[in-house]
Amino acid sequence: MRQTDAMQTRGKVSLLLVLASLVGACWPSPAALAEERPPAPSTDTAAQEPSPPPETRAQLYDRIQVLEARVQGMEGKLKDSALARKTADQARMEAERRLAQGNQAVEQMHGELEALQARQAELEEALAEQQTLVEHLAAALEEERKHNALLTSQVEALAAQLPETEGGILTEQAARTAATQAFLALRSQIQRPGGADAATGIQSRAEAEDLLRKRQLKLARATDALSVYRVRERDSLGRISSRFYGSSGQWHRLFEANRHLLDNPDQLTPGMTLVIP
């Protein structure tokens, strides 16, 4: 900016010097005026139009003032143009600075976006792994529930076969009912050999006798009886009483303990099992 002002000042001075030299050249000195005399006008010259008189110092001064005013106007325009150029340069520099800042912010946002996308991909992968693990655990849990249900069913079945005195749930009445069903299956096999019993599914006399023995044994345990006995041919309650009690007079105890199977103390079925109280 200072260099531009200096150049403008030097231009102004040079212009004024040129104007001054022109004025000096155009305005003659007094000696020259005294020595020079205009020639006598000829006839032809007189007939022509008179030449304009030379400019006075005042006129020349006015012309110089006009020229200086023009120069000042040009200088003002140059200053305005320089100021506008300076303002434009500052605006351009400010725009470039803001553009650089914007580019930097965009690059930073791109970096943050890429980091977020990478983090999202990691989280999605971890989530997929967790979902797979949850599915495996859910499948394992379902298998464990099925296994537990099976074990529970087996425990309940076992508990149903054990009397309450041994930690089961088999009551005396339930044991008598089960034994009665087994005896009916045996009697059905005796009456119709080979026929399947609807209640127990027994298809042979041996199976029926074995089932009755097992259920009478459970009843004996539920009632805290002495033992069980499988009836043979020609057995009677008196003979069985003598074998276990040493006297045939205790036959009524045997009859009462097996009333769920016997309607008549004199009618024993070979192969049936009696509870010995």
State pLDDT tens for residues 140-197: 999 988 988 888 777 666 666 666 666 677 789 999 999 999 999 999 898 887 656 5
Position 260 confidence tier, pLDDT thresholds 50, 70, 90: very high
Phi, psi of 27 (to 5 degrees): -100, 110
Residue 97 CA to residue 273 CA, distance in Å, equals 111
What span, in angstroms and rounded, lies between the C-alpha atoms of 241 and 36?
194
d(CA 274, CA 270): 11
**How many other CB atoms are found less than 10 A from the CB of residue 77?**
10
Q: What is the pLDDT of residues 77-135, one digit of tens each?
A: 888 888 888 888 899 999 999 999 999 999 999 899 999 999 999 999 999 999 999 99
pLDDT at 246: 95
Q: What is the pLDDT at residue 108? A: 92
Report the mean per-residue pLDDT for the chain: 82
Which of 150 and 7 is assigned the larger pLDDT?
150
**pLDDT tens-digit series, residues 22-65:** 545 544 554 544 444 555 555 554 455 666 677 788 888 888 88
- SS3 string, 236-257, reads CHHHHHHHHHCCHHHHHHHHHH
pTM here is 0.44
